[in-house]
Structure 1
Amino acid sequence: MSFSQVGGHANTIRSTEDGSLLMKPVTTLEHEFYLIIAQARAMDTTGGLEGGGTGIEGGIVDTTDRHPVVNTPSQQYLVLSNLLYSFTKPNVLDLKLGTVFYDKRDLGCSEEKKARMIKAARETTSGESGIRLTGFQVTVHRLAPLLTLKSYGKSLKKEQLPEGIRRAFPVLVEPRTDLGLPAIVLLPILRSIHTSVLHLHSILKEVEIRIVGGSLLVVWEGDEQRARDGVQWMEEKEARIKERERTRSETDEDGNDDEYMDSDDDEEDTKPSAPYTLCLIDFAHTRFVPGQGPDVGVLLGLVTFAKLVEGRIREVKEAVKQ
């Protein structure tokens, strides 16, 4: 399975033959971060940092506790599950998060590099909004995916971010442009992405961490029928959850807690049927910082993205009316 890199350093990611796993060079700090997450997972103390369709990379991809770091004579590689693997025609958006791109505790970070990183944040949307469009890929029906590289995101001003999001989440309209999804399919996906972003924000505001150079990766299905099936799956799952909560509430009122059994079908809920996934990636310069509070730059970026998605939802609704 071949794939296009929409962000990151070119030619740094390797894929297994079947495309299900990826290998990327790992730094000591990144390896330590994954080990901490693996240990926290074992003790069930991740604090909501993983799981479901949103969270850190370890919540959706296998990390050091399942696929160890691979050693070669010249490099260590972190082995991760490919988030695109379960999608037929993956649309991909990579958003660089945060306002600070140098590690203040990295003694190897030269003053020259620090000045370069400060300049990069100041001259792009990162400094003001906490996000930069690193790159994105959109399905073009019957043709190869349309890839937009990081030079585009670097060229944008803060007020131009809505246009970038518009290009990343196009609506398939008549006359057919062969680009994007129909509004009736895209809308529920956008709403769910918005909910996931807010959920991730609520988690990270409680975590004392610094994510320097990390990204938010959003993947959603570009195949129209698969996307429709995924939206239906989300609606059915939400209905099951509401019914479960109603049943639990009635059971609690009857005082028969012990008799209540969670009848949800785990196999059905864990099938890779959701039409999107959202996840934090790239932890080469991430560390926990007890006593120093959350990463305000990353939180700003998540708030900005949530507002941009809200704006796109309003635009897509207008497209439905026309």
Structure 2
Amino acid sequence: MSTKTFDPSKLQSFGNAAAGHDGVLSDETGAVVVKPCTAAEIAFYESVAASHSDLIPHLPTYMGQLTLSSKDSAVPEVDSGTITTEDGKVERLHGKKIATELHIVLENITSGFKKPNILDLKLGAQLWDEASKPEKRARLDEVSAQTTSGSLGFRIAGMRTYKGAEVPDVPEDLTKFVEQDKEAGCWVFNKMYGRKFHAQGVSDGFVEYVFPGAKTQPELERAREVLAFFLGEVKDIIEVFEKKESRMYGASILFVYEGDVEEYAKTKQILRSAHPEDEDDDELNLPKLAAVKMIDFAHATWHKGDGPDENALRGMRSTAGILKQLLDKTEKEVDDADE
């Protein structure tokens, strides 16, 4: 896609980010994400296109780059704010906007969903790359040691779930972790939500994600289908990265599925009647049921001769294990409900 397609004055703030840095934008159609980036991230995407085609299905489509200064865009600077933790530390809800005019243009993974339910899992026990300063290493090592990053190789970095037109109030015990978005009908879980879990209880976060409402039969059926799809995709990602000699610090797996139960059922019918082999996928512009992609490669490099990235793979494997447990449990619940 040519970057000339974009009129900077018509870019707008991207509203579906579950985690990451401030300063992310989208175009009028919502089909792309334009985010501040490092040259290393662009180099990684370009190297994937040139030499690692087996990774392409598991990453957002790379559409090029933009040089975009603050005066080029009509979007006001937005700070996502901070939260004070129980031990008195002040934490940003999102990372600071990267101080750069360089932007990467990517497929918006949440495009094609009416009400996308989003889960961002940050991979790795080691969260810093070799260029990081000692103080940053110490800070991130503390985060890892106190969360499932250290024990499982991943942590929940952010989450967004659709709760319906009449979005319920957030329970008092979750008010430090969740904001109610009444306009979108969603609960938005900040990065501190994932930090409260230990290895034994982190599956509760996954349950909150795949069952944002009551466990009705339609929700059980949807959860079973979504979990099976997620598990298959994560296994495919593991298989590909086991053959790669890369190092990815701060990379994530992003999970998305249709949060509106009625829309999910309607989309299933549309997809059953569609015949993508007869037409170009872009022309069909079909809605989506679910998607899984690897994202965030600001600190991703190739390390020929060093073997696979076990730091990231450990988190992928832990994720696959939890998804398998939840799928088995959900299948039993579906079977019990059918009896």
Relative to the length of structure 1, the TM-score reads 0.78
Give 1:235-250 correspondences, 5 Å limit. Answer: none
Instruction: Tell whether 2:82 aligns with 1:70.
Output: no
1:209 matched to 2:246: yes
Residue 265 of structure 1 deviates from its aligned partner by 3.3
Q: How much does 1:154 deviate?
A: 0.8
Give the distance between the partners of 1:135 and 1:276, measured in 2 at CA: 17
Q: CA, structure 1 residues 267+170, in 2 after alignment: closer, same or farther (shift >3 Å)?
A: same
Structure 1 residue 75: Cα displacement: 1.3
Asked if the contact 2:271/2:286 (under 8 Å) is kept, the reply is no
What is aligned with 2:195? 154
Equivalent residue in structure 2 for 1:33, among 35, 44, 65: 44
1:267 is aligned with what amino acid? D
1:267 corresponds in structure 2 to 280
- Give the superposition deviation at 1:34: 1.9
Contact 2:48–2:56 under 8 Å retained in 1: no
Counterpart contact for 1:171–1:183, Cα < 8 Å = no
The letter for the 2-side match of 1:62 is: Y
Query: Counterpart of 2:307?
Result: 293
Hey, what does 1:145 align to over in structure 2?
186
Q: How does 1:1-322 map to 2 (within 5 A)?
A: 3-9=15-21, 11-40=22-51, 46-51=52-57, 55-57=58-60, 61-64=61-64, 68-72=65-69, 75-104=101-130, 106=131, 109-142=132-165, 143=167, 144-170=185-211, 172-173=213-214, 182-231=219-268, 264-265=277-278, 267=280, 272-320=286-334, 321-322=336-337
- Spell out, residue by residue over 1:243-292, the C-alpha distance to the aligned partner (whole angstroms, 9 max, x if none): xxxxxxxxxxxxxxxxxxxx943536975444111000001100011111
Provide the C-alpha distance between the structure 1 equivalents of 2:28 and 2:285, rounded to a whole number of angstroms: 23
- Give 5+ residue unaligned stretches, structure 2: 1-11, 71-99, 168-184
Deviations 1:72-110 (A, max 9, x none): 375111112211121011000000011111112x2xx21
2: CA distance, partners of 1:316 / 1:288: 39
Q: Which residue of 2 aligns with 1:255?
A: none
SS in 2 for 1:126: helix
Q: 1:235 and 1:18, CA in 2 relative to 1: closer, same or farther beyond 3 A?
A: closer
Deviation, 1:173, is 3.8
- One-letter code aligned to 2:69: T
1:1-36 superposed Cα distances (whole Å, 9 cap, x missing partner): 862432112x32112233222211111211211221
Cα distance between partner residues in 1 of 2:56 and 2:119 = 20
Unaligned runs of 5+ in 1: 41-45, 241-262
Contact 1:47 1:203 (C-alpha < 8 Å) held by counterparts: no
What is the DSSP-based 3-state SS (H/G/I as helix, E as strand, rest coil) of the residue aligned with 1:48?
helix
SS of 1:5's equivalent in the other structure is coil
Give distance in 2, aligned partners of 1:98 and 1:125.
Answer: 10
Identify if the C-alpha distance between structure 1 residues 76 and 164 changes in structure 2 by more than 3 Å, giving closer, same or farther. same
1:132 alignment partner AA: R
Name the CA distance, whole Å, in 2 between partners of 1:98 and 1:231: 35
How big is the shift at 1:117? 1.6
Say which SS state the counterpart of residue 69 (structure 1) adopts.
strand
CA–CA distance in structure 1, aligned partners of residues 111 and 25 of structure 2: 14
**CA 1:130 to 1:266, structure 2 compared with 1: closer, same or farther past 3 Å?**
farther
Distance 1:69 1:37, change over 3 A: farther
What SS does the aligned partner of 1:94 have?
strand
Aligned amino acid, residue 326 of structure 2: R
Aligned pairs, how many?
A: 276
Distance across 1 between alignment mates of 2:230 and 2:270: 15
C-alpha distance in 1 between matches for 2:18 and 2:266: 26
Q: CA deviation at 1:126?
A: 0.6
CA RMSD of aligned residues (A): 2.6
CA, structure 1 residues 199+236, in 2 after alignment: closer, same or farther (shift >3 Å)? farther
Distance in 2 between the 1:14 and 1:25 partners? 9
Task: Give the Cα–Cα distance (whole angstroms) in 2 for the partners of residues 312 and 159 of structure 1.
Answer: 14
- Structure 1 pair 151–209 and aligned structure 2 pair: CA distance change class (3 A): same
Task: Output the amino acid matched with 1:301.
Answer: G
